[in-house]
Amino acid sequence: MYYEEMPETKTDDCPVYYKCGEISSWWGHEDLHWHEELEIMCFLSGNAEVNCDRERIIPGNGEIIIVNPYELHNLCSEKGCVRHLLLVGKKMLRSFGCENIRFRHCVTDPEIADIFDRMLTEEKRNDEYSKNALMALSTEILVRLCREWRVTETDQSSDGNESGRRLTASIMEYIDRHFTEQISVGSICDEFGYSKSYICRVFREITGLTIARQIAARRIYYAGTLLASKRYSVSECALMSGFTSASYFSKAYRKMYGRAPSEGE
């Protein structure tokens, strides 16, 4: 399990990332991960299985898969598949007014599939207008999602876990903003105004993980990026990532990656 950083979506002029390509069969099973972006996929051929928010989805060709920000998910493909992939950054979601809207995970929408085909054409064209065209096409997809595929109040009333999903997403976003600080399960309960037993139960029901493990995973991922820069010692990386000691960080890092942080990649 890991946090996926997408620097491509952090730019002001084009806070989206698009790619169309094949996922080879050797790639196999992707680890569970999460990110702050809205992820939209359109599958073109092959077979795949997407696990999102503890929901197992086997998309058909032409179907659209939507992963909301901070939802734990992975993609598995035993024989390979081809897909469009669009990641929309928080800056664009916020400016569009849909940062807090949750969308259905699997939909059939020929209009969105057609927009993806136009994105592929622009990617191949790659001229001075392609970036603006990509932004315009991404906006078209967001409009379509908001109009047709948002989770409605009716959906929410029939889904007893909807409030839990929203709370879990808020907790994950809070962890993402504060993991370098000395946060804990207790401080998160104080922040959101719920009892420890309730928050821990809801979080585990939605993600299958404990809050403590989520905090540790986010810190370890960030520490790994610091180690890769080769600018800091192991102890410095541990403290900068929110760990209180280098020894505890080393133990947690080894548990996640199977090697000591000093051993590198």
Task: Count Cβ atoms below 10 Å from residue 89 Cβ, excluding itself.
Answer: 25
Q: What is the pLDDT of residue 146?
A: 96
- Asked if the model's pLDDT at residue 207 lies above 90, the reply is no
259: alpha, beta or left? (left if phi > 0; alpha if psi -120 to 50): beta
This prediction's pTM? 0.81
| Contact of 34 with 71, CB cutoff 8 Å | yes
- More confident call, 9 vs 257: 9
| pLDDT (average), residues 184-190 | 95
Q: Which CATH fold topology does 2-151 show?
A: Jelly Rolls (2.60.120)
| 264 — pLDDT class (breaks 50, 70, 90) | low
- How far is it, in rounded angstroms, from Cα 194 to Cα 218? 22
- How far is it, in rounded angstroms, from Cα 143 to Cα 14? 17
**Of 50, 49, 116, 112, nearest in space to 85 by CA:** 116
Q: Where are the domains of the chain?
A: 2-151, 162-263
- Asked if the model's pLDDT at residue 158 lies above 60, the reply is no
| Contact of 147 with 111, CB cutoff 8 Å | no
Q: Which range (1-5, 46-50, 196-200, 229-233) has the least confidence?
A: 1-5
Rounded to 5 degrees, what are φ and ψ at 77? -145, 110
Q: What is the pLDDT of residue 54?
A: 82
Burial grade of 152 (CB within 10 A; 0-12, 13-18, 19 or more): exposed
Task: Evaluate whether 2-151 and 162-263 have a shared fold.
Answer: no
- Asked if the model's pLDDT at residue 109 lies above 90, the reply is yes
- Asked if the model's pLDDT at residue 3 lies above 60, the reply is yes
Rounded to 5 degrees, what are φ and ψ at 73? -160, 165
Q: What is the CA radius of gyration of the chain?
A: 19
CATH architecture of 162-263: Orthogonal Bundle (1.10)
